Amino acid sequence: MKLEIHTDAKALIFDLDGTLSDSLPVHMASWHAVCEKLNCTFDEHILFEMTGMPTISFAERIKREQNLDVDAELLVTMKQEEFWRNIRQIKPHAAVIGLMKNAHGTIPMAVGTGAGRTSAMLQMKELQIEHLFDCIVTADDVDRHKPEPETFLRCAELMKVDPKFCQVFEDGELGMQAAHSAGMLLTDVRPFVTDPFSGGKN
């Protein structure tokens, strides 16, 4: 099995975390560090269940499940600062990065991510790929996040390509739902990347 561009694709849209970047270990370590400071525990399967959603959604769930008397916005800040501090630990997913680099210059390409813009750009700069895309749509650019299709539809709009001719590369269930809702071609990259969970991702 080979990771390929669909014959009908006129534009490519890539998720970031877990698709282009092998960032799950850093996200996991960051949340563990935050919860340790707050004397609570972090359930790692939250990452599996909620991948693709903005950090505030993770923070609100952790606050609720751990009965934390702290603002969710503060949890977001703590987690982001921890993640940014360790950004050099993220690695590329070679198969996806390779396909993307081979396609560069031949077809419009975008990133559609649930990460905030600062986190997304830091990751992409670390991977040295920020200059390879026609547009980057982050959690800060939309109102309705994955599994809603707004992120991917915004990418299609910016690239001026009909959604049905856009091929989405995703590792997250919520992102896949978003791609289906947007009427786009979908490639599940999980068989081509290595994940700490059996079948899991972020």
- Catalytic amino acids? 15
The type of residue at 3 is L
Q: Which two tokens stand for residue 38?
A: 């707050």
Alpha-carbon gap, residue 119 to 81, rounded angstroms = 10
The type of residue at 101 is K
Q: Which two tokens stand for residue 67?
A: 């009965």
Q: Which residue has 């690239």 as its token pair?
A: 159
The C-alpha angle with vertex 49 and arms to 166 and 171, in degrees rounded to 5, equals: 30
Residue 135 dihedral angles phi and psi, to the nearest 5°: -160, 155
Overall residue count recorded for the chain in this entry: 202
Do residues 55 and 76 lie in contact, with contact meaning Cβ atoms separated by under 8 Å?
A: yes
Do residues 66 and 44 lie in contact, with contact meaning Cβ atoms separated by under 8 Å?
A: no
Alpha-carbon gap, residue 99 to 159, rounded angstroms = 19
